[in-house]
Amino acid sequence: MDTDWMNEPPKPPVQLDTDKAHPARVYDYFLDGKTNYPADREAAEAMIERGLPTARRDARASRDFMVRAAGYMVDQGVRQFLDIGTGIPTSPNLHEVVQERAPESRVVYTDNDPIVLAHSRALHTSTPEGRTLYLHADATDPDTILRAEGLRDTLDFSRPVGLTLLLLLHWLPTDAGVRLVRTLVDELAPGSHVVMSYLARDLFEDVGEAKKLEGTFVEGSTNQLRGATRAEVETLFEGLEMVEPGLVPTNRWRPQTVPVQVGNPALADSGVVPAWSGIGVKR
């Protein structure tokens, strides 16, 4: 596998704005990646200290959920995927997971962090039978994503798509998140699957603890952070048929299907990862 990108310095003319913490780089720090800066590490450590001591475990559990959800969709016959808020490439990436089982799979990735763009070469390592595309785009402007050059050459919207919105929506203003989901889901063909995970306000001891965590990140960062309750996340799945076991903490979504090479089955029993996670199907 091509792993050169892991140590590759970002190329100009990308403006990285390294003085402020960015969600993608903070998450990369939690995953023990190398693509983060002092502001990101400081914000990440503050989050660990002030409300999320399990951040590293939770980030890893989230990647494992992506692997299980992707495997599930491949089993359902889905062969094309649209991932919004991709993050800094972390192996295995979505296309690696789905193409291992269905090499003809096509994956479009999108993110708005210039550092993800700078490292996006790692997202272009498609199988010859399949295809991948990276789009630098802002999730608060879903129409631009839908009109982006290359999107419809890569994905056929008359056929089912696996839409993945993982640990993304809590970074967006709530109404922008709702608009994003509604706009994209409207565009999808029957049989499409929508995978979401969302920081869970109601899985903290009390809402004050969740607010402290949200506030910790917002100081000196580019993004806001606001979790949602289970009821709020459920409204995003309205009109979709939930796949069993429904909307659950990340590590409780079909933990028995954790792939051996990636997963850490111990996570399934190690408390609750505070993010609501689930898959809905458009019928």
Ligand X SMILES: C[S@@+](CC[C@H](N)C(=O)[O-])C[C@H]1O[C@@H](n2cnc3c(N)ncnc32)[C@H](O)[C@@H]1O
Question: Does residue 120 interact with ligand X by CB under 6 A?
Answer: no
Specify the residue, 226 or 241, whose C-beta has the smaller distance to ligand X: 226
Compute the least distance from the CB of residue 96 to ligand X, in Å.
13
Q: Which of the stretches 67-75, 80-88, 150-158, 246-254 binds ligand X when contact is defined by CB under 6 A?
A: 80-88
For the stretch 12-17, contacts whose Cβ atoms lie closer than 8 Å and that sit 24 or more positions apart, written own/partner, are 14/114, 14/115, 14/117, 14/118, 15/114, 16/114, 16/115, 16/118, 17/114, 17/222
DSSP helix, strand, coil percent of the chain (3-state; round to 5): 45, 15, 40
> Which SS3 state, helix, strand or coil, does residue 165 take?
strand
Token pair in block for residue 150: 């290359």
* Residue 29 contacts ligand X per CB under 6 A: no
Q: Where are the alpha helices (DSSP H) in the chain?
A: 23-30, 38-49, 55-75, 94-101, 114-118, 142-147, 151-154, 174-187, 207-218, 230-236
Of 155 and 166, CB closest to ligand X: 166
Residue number of the CB atom closest to ligand X: 87
Residue 33 binding ligand X, by CB under 6 A: no
Nearer to ligand X, 17 or 206 (CB): 17
Q: How far is the CB of 113 from ligand X (least distance, A)?
A: 4
Question: What distance in Å separates the CA atoms of residue 45 and residue 55, rounded to the nearest whole number?
Answer: 9
Least Å distance between CB 270 and ligand X? 19
Q: How far is the CB of 31 from ligand X (least distance, A)?
A: 8
CB-nearer residue toward ligand X: 63 or 226: 63
- How far apart CA 34 and CA 67 sit, in angstroms, is 22
Positions in 93-112 near ligand X (CB under 6 A)? 111-112
168 binding ligand X? (CB under 6 A): yes
Q: What is the 3-state secondary structure (H, E, C) of 106-131?
A: EEEEEECCHHHHHCHHHHCCCCCCCE
Nearest distance from C-beta of residue 62 to ligand X, angstroms: 5
What is the DSSP pairing of strand 162-166 with strand 80-84?
parallel
Residue 89 engages ligand X in binding (rule: CB under 6 A):
no
# of chain residues touching ligand X (CB under 6 A): 22
Stretch that binds ligand X, among 9-17, 84-92, 99-107, 183-191 (CB under 6 A): 84-92
Residue 34 phi/psi, 5° resolution?
Answer: -110, 0
Place of tokens 């800066």: 37
138 binds ligand X (CB under 6 A): yes
Tokens of 272: 């609750």
116 is a site residue for ligand X (CB under 6 A) = yes
* Shortest Å, Cβ 66 to ligand X: 6
Quick one: tokens of 200?
């869970």
Which positions lie near ligand X, rule CB under 6 A? 23-24, 27, 62-63, 66, 85-87, 111-113, 116, 138-140, 166-168, 171-172, 223
